[in-house]
Amino acid sequence: MNFKHIIIQGIPKKLPSKKTYDSSVNRAPKRKDILSVKEKKLAISNALRYFPKIWHKELAEEFRLELANYGRIYMLRFKPVYQIYARPIDEYPAKIKEAAGIMMMIQNNLDPNIAQHPDELITYGGNGAVFQNWAQYLLTMKYLATMDDKQTLHLYSGHPMGLFPSSKKAPRVVISNGIMIPNYSKPDDWEKYNALGVTQYGQMTAGSFMYIGPQGIVHGTTITLMNAFRNILKKGETTKGKVFLTSGLGGMSGAQPKAGNIVGCISITAEVNILAAQKRYDQGWVDILISNIKDLVLFVKKAKSKKTTVSIAYIGNVVDVWEKFLIEKIDVTIGSDQTSLHNPWSGGYYPVGISYEEGNIMLKDNPKKFKQKVQESLRRHAKVIRAHTEKGTYFFDYGNAFLLEASRAGGDVMNKDKSDFCYPSYVQDILGPLCFDYGFGPFRWICTSGKSEDLKLTDKIAEKILLNIRKNALKEIQTQLDDNINWIKNANSNHLVVGSKARILYANAEGRIKIALAFNRAIASGKIGNIVLGRDHHDVGGTDSPYRETSNIYDGSKFTADMAIHNVIGDSFRGASWVSIHNGGGVGWGEVLNGGFGMFLDGSDLCNKRIKNMIFFDVNNGIARRSWAKNANALLAINKEMKKTPKLKVTIPENVNTSILDSLF
Ligand SMILES: NC(=O)c1ccc[n+]([C@@H]2O[C@H](COP(=O)([O-])OP(=O)(O)OC[C@H]3O[C@@H](n4cnc5c(N)ncnc54)[C@H](O)[C@@H]3O)[C@@H](O)[C@H]2O)c1
């Protein structure tokens, strides 16, 4: 059977032969053994629902073993034998192109060259799942292959509940991931209900099929790093010879060395997992691998004296590097951390003092001790960062819940009166005021033809549009536009593509709409093939996350999540091809709600309307919320938008004189 036939078949007619796990593949850590015997039976019974009775006896024992060995039932036997990667759109068996576009996005998220733990259907972040198991994948692909444009597929945390009649204007797919009754959203609830096979952690772009490899994050990381340096460098200083120390070469964190090179500094990224580091090295995302700390010190000292731009992956624990650099008096200009602390007890963060392999054994055999070690390590981590920041390092939290978990572990990360963290998050200092409040966010597009020529042409189109917008832009957003014009000019030569032919660009509502309309025109005239538009959930209006995207909201509403819900519902009836709403993403289960969309451009007039209507709402809903919280830049942006768009009527806050409040108490 060929690729198309296998997809149309869904769950195979004949039981596939048993598979063994390939030890060369980067495997997910064993998850917590949290279920009672009764619950284990329920988990196995839940898994067997996907298969004919005749297979149950054989599969039941196999699934019991998967649960015992891995803590989850992945149904590896059903992983298809064909290669999974973003094949061009015409290669999918689909009745409608929109569905084929979605299939392509799924394939990209599960491509072993892209996904962090491909066998376990994890794209990034240690637990960012596309599906919970291979049966869900097979069924979803089949539904997409057979659906028409008057049906909508509803996915409950990876499980395809089914196709329901809808209309041409409705989204083709509606996705929810990890949505829980609020009281059941503690980390152990994820462990339990994920093990039962009834929910999953979709991260942001994993469970929404919008991951485009590390490029997606290189751009955001470059912007963040560039502005972090702008915040700290003295007049006349440049990034040359300056050190950026961080950790993580995983799904998103793997972008840091590339961003360091684009910015022109010396970056050191510690990574405990040699496979993760090797992958980034093989892809050309990091210049050199060093596993001996003495060699690292010598190399960095030399690079500093020669002011070389270089990115170094240190194979080992980041705490060791911070401590060694303190002893060796190596000044760190900028420091951050991108271990997966949104998932601290299940392998997101490896404690200092034990090897990666020892850590994995402890995680499996003694999770309680592992947790203690993580907390000890976080305290040591916080202490050494404090010593560096007292000498002038600018440290910021990179949205990975480092400050949150370090504070919970009793680490020294609080300010004097213990009311807040003593370090900013990258959103508070950088992305919030400079980007999100103005509507700039990680807009992206994917050329479904798979052709590099299409991507090049779209780069040119986007550049031309940004240059035009720049001519009459507010002075407050000119730097943002310049950074993005530079980015898009160099994007092709920076060789950023891994997987599907995709591009990311930070643009505001005006930029996103104009670029999308121009793409739609190019499709209509046959210059390029169909395009999928989307964005990271990590954006202006998609995500309510008090320690990250909405950390620069100061009216108390940062602990509410209405914006993300309105975002997804609002996008769904304004023209999205698919929408998704997730609990957890970046900072952890129960800590964030985030939403996103995908839009398939087919060159039609209807598509023009969708672009104008949906993208306008997608961005301005977020700006409106930010302006209601009295963020000055958001107020400026929304007032400007209201002048241009008479139908937009946003409630604007009045300022209160603080003396009135002070006189009350
Ligand atoms: N890049 C961004 O712009 C961005 C934005 C927001 C949030 N984040 C957050 O950053 C975190 C990382 O994301 P990811 O997708 O790269 O996750 P990931 O799990 O793929 O990668 C994290 C890496 O850190 C390594 N690691 C863990 N503990 C370590 C230690 N003590 N020393 C050295 N290495 C260690 C792991 O081996 C792993 O490869 C997540 O929490 C994510 O939400 C990133």
Q: CA 317, 320, 322, 328 torsion: positive or negative?
A: negative
Q: Residue 338 Cα, ligand 1 centroid: separation in angstroms?
A: 4
In this structure, the residue with its CA closest to atom 26 of ligand 1 is 339
Per the DSSP assignment, residues forming a β-bridge with 244 are: 267, 334
At 437, list the tokens. Answer: 């409040």
| Ligand 1 binding site (Cβ under 6 Å of any ligand atom) | 116, 124-126, 217, 220-221, 247-253, 255, 270-273, 276, 317-318, 338-342, 348-350, 398-400, 538, 586
Whether 618 and 541 have beta carbons less than 8 Å apart is answered as yes
Nearest atom within ligand 1 for CA of residue 221: 3
Q: Residue 448 Cα, ligand 1 centroid: separation in angstroms?
A: 29
At 89, list the tokens. Answer: 């759109």
Residue 334 neighbours by CB under 8 Å, 6+ apart: 225, 228, 229, 232, 242, 243, 244, 245, 265, 393, 394, 395, 396
Q: What is the mean pLDDT of each successive set of 10 residues along the chain, which is 665 residues long? A: 96 94 86 96 98 98 97 97 97 98 98 94 94 98 98 98 97 98 95 98 97 86 93 93 97 91 96 94 94 98 98 98 98 97 92 96 95 98 98 94 96 93 92 96 97 98 98 94 94 89 96 98 98 97 94 95 98 98 92 97 98 98 98 97 97 96 96
Q: What is the pLDDT of residue 421?
A: 94
Residue carrying the six token digits 């040591």: 380
Q: Which helix (H) or strand (E) holds 617?
A: helix 616-628
Ligand 1 pocket test: which of 340, 354, 426 has the largest number of ligand atoms within 8 Å of its C-beta?
Answer: 340
User: CA 369, CA 347: separation in Å to the nearest integer?
Assistant: 13
In this structure, the residue with its CA closest to atom 32 of ligand 1 is 317
Nearest atom within ligand 1 for CA of residue 273: 37
Q: Which pTM value belongs to this model?
A: 0.89
Q: What is the pLDDT of residue 591?
A: 93
Q: What is the pLDDT of residue 494?
A: 82
Residue carrying the six token digits 């990381």: 221
User: CA 259, CA 256: separation in Å to the nearest integer?
Assistant: 5
Nearest atom within ligand 1 for CA of residue 339: 24
Q: What is the pLDDT of residue 414?
A: 96
Q: Residue 193 Cα, ligand 1 centroid: separation in angstroms?
A: 24
At 192, list the tokens. Answer: 């339990």
Q: What is the pLDDT of residue 146?
A: 98
Whether 339 and 254 have beta carbons less than 8 Å apart is answered as no
Whether 165 and 32 have beta carbons less than 8 Å apart is answered as no
